[in-house]
Structure 1
Amino acid sequence: MQLPSKNIKRASLLGAVALTVFGLAAGPASARAGGPGPVTSVVGGTRAAEGEFPFMVRLGPVGCGGSLYAKDLVLTAAHCVEADGPDSSLTVTAGTVDLKNPGAVRVKSAAVRKGPGVPGDWALVKLAEPLRLPTLPIASTVEYDRGDFTVAGWGTTSFGGGQQRYLRKATVPFVDDATCAASSWGDEGDFYPGRQICAGGQGVDVCDGDSGGPMFRKDGAGRWIQVGIVSESACGHADDPGLYVRVSTYARDIRKAAAQLEG
C-alpha cells in the first residue's frame, strides 16, 4: 500500500473536500489515502438513535465533530479551528442526529483556545450562548484508556465519500501501543505513545469529517466519559487503526484553557 507522506497527510486535514451529500459539504479530512477500494459502512457503523448521544455537536462550516465539555464550551480538534482568540466564524449544530432537522439548536462561536497541535490535537470553542444539553466529562486518569470505545460522527463512510446527514456510531476496540507502533502510523513517525490512543481498524473506524469528535466509553458508574478526540484515521483500512488524542494526558491543560475562556 502506497501511503502519502506525513506533510501531504497533515495538509489534507485542513482542506475542504469538494464533495456533497444531502447538501452537506465534506469537512476537514482526517483520513489517509491509498487504501483499497471503498469500505462498507462513521465506517462499519450504524445510525445513532435520536437523543442517544446528546453531547454530540457538529461544527460548521469546517465540517468537524465535537462534544459539549460545558454548557458553553465545545471540545474538538485543534486542526478544526483557527488561531486563539475571538472567533465568531463557527456555527455549532446540536440537539439532534439529523443535521437538516428544523428543530436543531444552532449557536455561533465566540472564541477559541487551541492546544499545541500534533499530538496535542485539541481545542475548546466558547459558544455565544450556553446550550441546555448534557455535557460529556473527560477522563483525567488512564483508568478508562483500554477496552471497547464508542465513536460517533457525521463524517464519510468510506475514503473520499460524502458527509452524512444523520449521526452514525460504531464500537472500536483499543489497539495496544506496540501494535499501533508496528502499523504505518509508527513507520511514518505519526504515533506518540502516552499522548495518543489507537483504536479500531479492520473495517471499523472514523473517516473524513469525523475529526474533533469524541471517543468515549462507560465509567465505573455506567456514565459516558470521553477518553479520546478524533485526530487521524485510515477509514477502516485493515492495517491501520484510528489515531486519537489521549484526553487524560491533556486533561489539566484542557481544564486550564476552559477556566481562561470562562474568566
Structure 2
Amino acid sequence: CQEKGGNLKSQCGHASYDCVPYFQCVDGVINTDGRGLIDVRILPQGVCSHPEYPDVPGVCCLIPGAPPTPPPVDACPAYLECVDYSLCSSNDQIITDGSGLIDRRTGHTSCRLPSGIGGICCAPPTPYIDTCPGKSVCKPKLECLGQALDAKNSFVDFLKASTALWTECSFGGERGICCIPPPPKVIDLCPGESVCVQPNECKGTALNDLEKFVDYSSQGSWTYCSAFDQGVCCINPYIKPDLEPASECGVRHYQIDKRITGKIDASFGEFPWQGIIFYQNYTFNCGASLVSNKHAITGAHCIHKLLASDIRLRFGEWQVNSFDEPLPYIDRNVYAIHIHPKFNSKNLHNDIAVIELLEPIDYQYHINSICIPSYGQIIDPYTLCVTTGWGKDSFHGSFQHILKKIEVPFIDHDTCQTYLRKTRLGKYFKLDESFVCAGGEENKDACYGDGGGPLACKSGSNYYLTGITSWGIGCGTKNIPGVYADVQSFSKWIEDIVRKPGSVKQVQEPNQKPGY
C-alpha cells in the first residue's frame, strides 16, 4: 500500500478496512444495499479522511466479505519484533531514520506491545558488513546454495532457512549476503560439447556450481569433473589442430578437439595406428595395428580361418556411429594374410598375424604407424602401457561407439603365471613364452572385441607395439592379468614380411633407439 494521500486503505492499517464517510458505516461494516437512512447514533471523531468528502469525518469500516482480522499473537515469530504500526516500513523492517508514514501491506501479523496497545510484527534493521568473515564470500541471494550469515551472526543453511534475516554485504555495487559455498560437485561425464580439462587449459566457458556455462576464471565456483584433480567441464574456442602427419612411428596425439564423454575415451587421432578388421559386409571382426603404410598386425585367432578376400581394414576411425569427425577414415582391401607358422588355435600359442594391404596408405595426422620393438626388448614390471579398442566393457557389456583406452601395468612372466594358476587353469598351468601380460586391476582390462588390438608401451617419446590382445580369464577381474602375444619375440619374423624385397611399403623409424 501507499503512504497517506495515496491508497485510502493505508490509513486504516489493514486491507480488510477502507476509509468511508461515517454515515456509510453501519455497525462497523460498509452499507452496500442502500437501505434507508443511516442511524447516526453519534457524530464520531474522524479517524481518516476521504477526498470525495473532505468535510465529512471518515471512519475505518470493514469491507463486506473481507477476511476477519487475525487475532494478535503474544510473541512474534523468530527474527521479528513487535512494534507500533508507524514504526514498520513497507519492506516489513523497523524504521530507524524517522521517515514518514508507512504503506501497510497485507499479511502483517498483529501483536501487543508491552504497554498493551496493538502493534505488528516487523523485522529489525538488516545488519551490514564490509568484509565477509572466514571462507564466506559476498553473493547475490539467488546464487547462495550453501550456508549464509544471518542477522544473529551465525551461519545457517540458506535454502532451509529462507525466511531468516541475513547480514548484508556489497556485491558489485548491489546488496548480497555472506555465503559459504557447498562442497564442489564432482561429475564423471561433462555435459554437451564440454570437455574435462585441467583448469589452466580452459580458455572459454566452463560449467559453474549453478550448472551454467560462463566465462572461466580462477576465482569462480565450478562443477568439477573427475578426469583431473579439480578438472573443469570446458568449452574452448575451436582451434584447428596441426593436422600434419608425424614424421616417425609411435607418436600419440594428446590434443583434444572433440567431445570426450569419460575418462577412458580416446580423443580423435590419439592412437593413429589403431585399425579395425571388418568382414566384407562391415561386421566387426577384430582390432589391428598399422606398422607400415602397407602392413598391419593382429591376432592370428582373429583371421586364421579367413581368406584375404573375406576382410577389409579401416584406419583413422574414432567414433563408429558418427560421420562428422575432423578427418575421414580410410578403408583398404587385403592382398595377403600371413599367419605365424607355429600358431596353435587351441591354446593360442604364437597368436600373431601380419596383414598385407592391397594398396599402400598415405600417412595422415590420424593415420600413422606404431613402432615395432626389436628382439629382446625388455619392459620393466609395472610399467604403465595402453590397450585400446571398441570391445565390450565386460563379457556382459555392450560394444563402444568411441575408441576406448585403458592404462594397464605390465606384469612379468612368472608373476602372471602365478596369478593365472589361481584361476580355473589350475596350479600346473604353464604360460607359454610367446605371451606377455598386463593388467590385473579391477574393471581395467581389454575385453571381448578388443582381440587383435594393440598393447602399446612407451619408450622415450615413442610408443611400441609390445603386445597383441589375445585372451584372458574373465574380464577386468582383480589379480587376473590379461594375456597378449609378445611382439618382440616375433620381430624377426615380422621384419621378413614387412621388409621383403619388392614389397611397396614405408616403415617409419623412431628418432631414438629403444630404451626400455
Give the TM-score taking structure 2 as reference length.
Answer: 0.40
What is residue 372 of structure 2 aligned with on the other side? 138
Q: What is the Cα-based RMSD across aligned positions, in Å?
A: 2.3
Write the distance in 2 (CA, Å) between the matches of 1:236 and 1:159.
Answer: 10
Aligned equivalents of 2:379, 2:394: Cα separation in 1? 26
SS at match of 2:291: strand
**1:147-166 deviations in Å (ceiling 9; x for gaps):** 11111011110113222121
User: 1:92 Cα deviation (Å)?
Assistant: 1.1
Structure 1 alignment gaps of length 5 or more: 1-43
Alignment equivalent of 1:73, drawn from 280, 295, 312: 295
Alignment of 1:136-175 (within 5 A): 136-146=370-380, 147-175=383-411
CA distance in 2, matches of 1:213, 1:261: 27
* Structure of higher RCO (CA pairs closer than 8 Å, 6+ residues apart): 1
Shift of 1:91: 1.8
Give 3-state SS (helix, strand or coil) of 1:253's partner.
helix
The CA deviation at 1:261 is 9.2
Percent identical residues: 29
1:63 is displaced (CA, Å) by 2.0
Tell me the equivalent position of 2:479. Answer: 239
- Kept in 2, the 8 Å contact 1:68–1:74? The answer is yes
Distance 1:110 1:150, change over 3 A: same
Instruction: Give 5+ residue unaligned stretches, structure 2.
Output: 1-261, 504-516
- Matches of 2:429 and 2:494, distance apart in 1: 25
Once the two structures are superposed, what CA deviation does each residue of 1:89-116 show, in whole Å capped at 9, x if it has no partner? 1121211211234432222212100113
Between structure 1 and structure 2, the one with the greater Rg is 2
Show CA shifts across 1:134-187 (max 9, x none).
111111144452311111011110113222121100110011222211123563
In the alignment of these two chains, the number of paired residues is 217
Tell me if the contact between 2:288 and 2:453 (Cα under 8 Å) persists in the aligned partners: yes
Higher helix residue share: 1
Structure 1 distance, partners of 2:378, 2:390, is 25
- Residue 83 of structure 1 contacts residue 114 of structure 1 at CA under 8 Å; is this kept in 2? no
The residue aligned with 2:335 is: 110
Work out whether residues 126 and 261 of structure 1, in 8 Å CA contact, stay in contact via their aligned partners in 2. no
1:152 touches 1:213 (CA, 8 Å); kept in 2? Answer: yes
Q: Is the 8 A contact 1:45 1:168 kept in 2?
A: no
How far the C-alpha of 1:260 sits from its partner, in A, is 4.8
Secondary structure, counterpart of 1:231 in structure 2: strand
> Could you state the TM-score of these two structures normalised by the residue count of structure 1?
0.75
Distance 1:232 1:262 in 2: 35
Distance 1:69 1:50, change over 3 A: same
CA drift at 1:243: 0.4
1:191 corresponds to 2:450: no
8 Å Cα contact 1:227/1:246 also seen in 2: yes
Question: What is the one-letter code of the residue matched to 2:490?
Answer: Y
Q: Partners of 1:190 and 1:47 in 2: how far apart? A: 35
Q: CA separation of 1:99/1:159 partners in 2, compared to 1, >3 Å: closer, same or farther?
A: same
Q: CA deviation at 1:122?
A: 0.5
